[in-house]
Amino acid sequence: MAADQAGSGEHVITIDDVNGLATELKKSIADDSLFRPLKCCIFRVPTILSRHNENAYVPNAFSIGPFHYMKQPVMQATQKIKLRYLKGLISRSQPSPGIDDESRLKDFINAVGRHLEVALEYYAEPVSMSLKEFTHVLVVDGCFLIELFRKKAYKDLRDENDPIFKTSCLLQFLHNDLILLENQIPWLVLDTLFQLTKDTSIDKKTLVQLAIEFFGNIFSTTQPPVQPHDLDKLKGTKHILDLLRSSLVCFSNMYNAKIPWKPMPSASRLKEAGVKFKKAKDSKSILDIKFSNGVLEIPPLLIEETTEPIFRNLICLEQCCPGYEAAITSYAILMDNLINTTTDMDILCDSGVVQNWLNVEDATKFFNQLYTDTYVKENYYLLLAAQVNRHCKRHWPRYRTVLMRDYFNHPWALTSVIVAAFLVVCTFLQTYYSIVK
């Protein structure tokens, strides 16, 4: 209730209303959902990021987890594929004779159920499902994923009419849908089901290896596989997207420096300044960029249709999840510095640094808006950019580049330079002998 303040015409709130409002606010701030648990790492993409390309965050055919469960008609069809994979996994992973399918399913449900409370903490908002339905989603999607990874690694597990590996478009959809931030389930669930269905006669690789190998060349066609001794660096994985990010960050030699950020010149300007571009060999991460003696060594990057979604979702993960360093965002900024025009893109493609499967104009625009509306507290290429900029300020590399371009790039130009130099020497000698006489 409100009461008029005498003589002033102003309104004040009575003490009763203040007490009521205070009581309501007290109830609101007591809500446990206001405090995100430390495990929280699966988010709805904020509008400020999704508005730049909404399709980059939405699954095309396969829903994984609760956020997009059965939202599109096509997902009802792919749900049958998941159930088919679940049935195949059950029939192959019977621990002993006489165990029927229902008993095996109970094993899966009970194993996932023991982690249900922790699994819920991975999601940034309340899951709008009953616990029964949520468990159903985790069991079906989890078994589907580990069976998918196994079939990719072990071809003998695929039957003659496998709906995924016999249909190219479905495999392409999966490469896109499984890397979406909103389309994730906790790695804890995957690992639990993997250990429960493990067959020592078949499973020679860890779940981490299987997952990374499934995506294989998502970043580069020449990226080497993860070796067993590298697996310790990938412990603590939260979900598939987090694993792919960790596989880039952990295997790079990125280092930070407390110096002001200054953008790096474009590839064409660097070339004019005498900088050479070289494709890095045997690099385990596209982030591992180095500069030495005028050579910028960059691991090859594959640009195709799925490249934008993977980068946008990785950047969104860094922006939304507490404790994540802006490593992928820094890489996007650096590449945007290098690529301003189609000429820049041609330079990087010619040197093997970029493997472009798109139209050159589309590939050029790729990085221009990739990190718009993001925040980078510390750019992890500060020192690299400073080294390159310092090199560009030196005069000799630039002069040498101009000399090679204008006078030594053609036999006739080289001949004219030699003749001119010969005439200068002859003129000098003639003048010298005239003075001596």
DSSP letter for each residue of 307-327: HHHHHHHHHHHHHHSTT---H
At 401, the amino acid letter reads T
Tell which phi-psi region holds residue 324, choosing left (phi > 0), alpha (psi between -120 and 50) or beta: beta
Mean pLDDT, each 10-residue run in order, the chain (437 residues): 51 65 77 63 95 95 95 91 95 73 93 96 92 97 97 93 90 94 97 93 92 90 71 88 93 72 92 93 90 94 93 96 91 95 96 94 89 90 92 64 51 60 68 69
User: Residue 26 in contact with residue 11, Cβ under 8 Å?
Assistant: no
pLDDT at 97: 63
Token look-up 């385990």 returns 284
CA geometry: angle at 312 spanning 229 and 253, to 5°?
35
pLDDT at 1: 46
* d(C-alpha 188, C-alpha 21), whole Å: 42
* d(C-alpha 161, C-alpha 73), whole Å: 23
H or E stretch at 298: strand 295-298
User: Residue 344 in contact with residue 352, Cβ under 8 Å?
Assistant: no
Alpha helices in 251-301 (DSSP H): 267-272
Q: Name, in order, each residue with C-beta under 8 angstroms of 91's C-beta and a sequence gap of 6 or more.
A: 101
pLDDT at 157: 93
Q: What Å distances lie between residue 303 and 25, 84, 136, 231, 349, CA to CA?
A: 50, 33, 37, 27, 11
Q: Name, in order, each residue with C-beta under 8 angstroms of 311's C-beta and a sequence gap of 6 or more.
A: 328, 332, 370
* d(C-alpha 126, C-alpha 186), whole Å: 15
User: Residue 354 in contact with residue 331, Cβ under 8 Å?
Assistant: no
- One DSSP character per residue, 382-394 reads HHHHHHHHHHHT-
* d(C-alpha 49, C-alpha 318), whole Å: 12
* d(C-alpha 253, C-alpha 233), whole Å: 13
What is the 8-class DSSP label of residue 42? B
Record the pTM. 0.84
User: Residue 59 in contact with residue 180, Cβ under 8 Å?
Assistant: yes
Q: Where are the domains of the chain?
A: 51-250, 267-393
* d(C-alpha 269, C-alpha 392), whole Å: 9
Task: Count the neighbouring beta carbons within 10 Å of the beta carbon of residue 405.
Answer: 12
* d(C-alpha 26, C-alpha 410), whole Å: 80
What is the 8-class DSSP label of residue 38? T
Q: Name, in order, each residue with C-beta under 8 angstroms of 317's C-beta and a sequence gap of 6 or more.
A: 41, 43, 181, 241, 242, 245, 324
Q: Name, in order, each residue with C-beta under 8 angstroms of 291's C-beta and a sequence gap of 6 or more.
A: 297, 384, 387, 388, 391
User: Residue 306 in contact with residue 59, Cβ under 8 Å?
Assistant: no
Token look-up 């159930």 returns 83
Closest CA to 180 of 132, 242, 105, 103: 242
pLDDT at 16: 62
